[in-house]
Amino acid sequence: MADQVQCPNCGGYRVTTSKVETLWISVPFSSAERRKSITQWLIGIPVSIIIVLAIGFLSTALGLDNDNPVAIGVGWIGLPFLCVILIAPFAIPYLLFHKKTKNVVKGQLYHYYCSLCGYRWSWETGTPTPQVNVRPDLIAKGSQRLEEEEEERRQAAAATWYLQQRQKK
């Protein structure tokens, strides 16, 4: 019973978790993270452009596309796309870390429901658990109500089964 949650209203243990939410908090990026992304951006883009231009000039200088005019057009038209592909690994970290803050998980928020007394409450990880007030009268009433509901369900199931058996005959 140590792992069970106790209702703070009646003290009963017939508690269910109705919903669990993740709580987020905004935390500023460290200066090292921001410096690294800016450095990647400032070095990566010129290097990528130089690589793309070198490939274009080498293909032209070696005559790989001289005999086909379509290949010349496709080669030089394809350079911007190649440039984007090479720049993306440097640009994405910069764009991600350019923001001042990042979202980090703060904790979990649990929503509980007591089947005995109908009490609902929420509890966040890292906070103290609510104080429990044991109320035997509410526990007894809730237990009796739950037993009556269970008996009604059994009777309804028995009646349904009886009707199904009569229909089969």
pLDDT digits (tens, 9 = 90+) for 47-96: 777 777 777 676 666 665 555 555 555 555 666 676 677 777 766 766 66
Q: DSSP of 23-60, one letter per residue? A: EEEEEEPPHHHHHHHHHHHHHHHHHHHHHHHHHHHHHH
Together in a domain, 69 and 116: no
CB burial class (10 A; 0-12, 13-18, 19+) of residue 37?
A: buried
Can you give the pTM of this predicted structure?
0.47
Asked whether residue 158 carries a pLDDT value surpassing 80, the answer given is yes
Together in a domain, 92 and 115: no
Together in a domain, 87 and 125: no
129 assigned to some structural domain: yes
Lowest mean pLDDT among 8-12, 43-47, 126-130: 43-47
Where residue 131 falls (left for φ over 0; alpha for ψ -120 to 50; beta otherwise) is: beta
Of the three residues 98, 115, 149, the one that is the final residue of a domain is 98
Q: What pLDDT digit, counting tens, does each position of 92-127 carry?
A: 766 666 666 677 778 888 999 988 888 888 888 888
Together in a domain, 19 and 75: no
Of the three residues 48, 77, 98, the one that is the final residue of a domain is 98
% of the chain at pLDDT higher than 70: 67
Domain extent, residue 65, equals 30-98
Number of domains in the chain: 2
Together in a domain, 94 and 34: yes
5 assigned to some structural domain: no
Strand order in the sheet with 120-124: 15-28, 101-114, 120-124
- pLDDT, position 78: 65
Of the three residues 80, 98, 116, the one that is the final residue of a domain is 98
Residue with tokens 């290097």: 47
Give residues with Cβ within 8 angstroms of 15, minimum separation 6: 4, 5, 6, 7, 112, 113, 114, 115
Rounded to whole angstroms, what are the CA distances from 44 to 79, 114, 136? 16, 58, 70
More confident residue, 95 or 137: 137
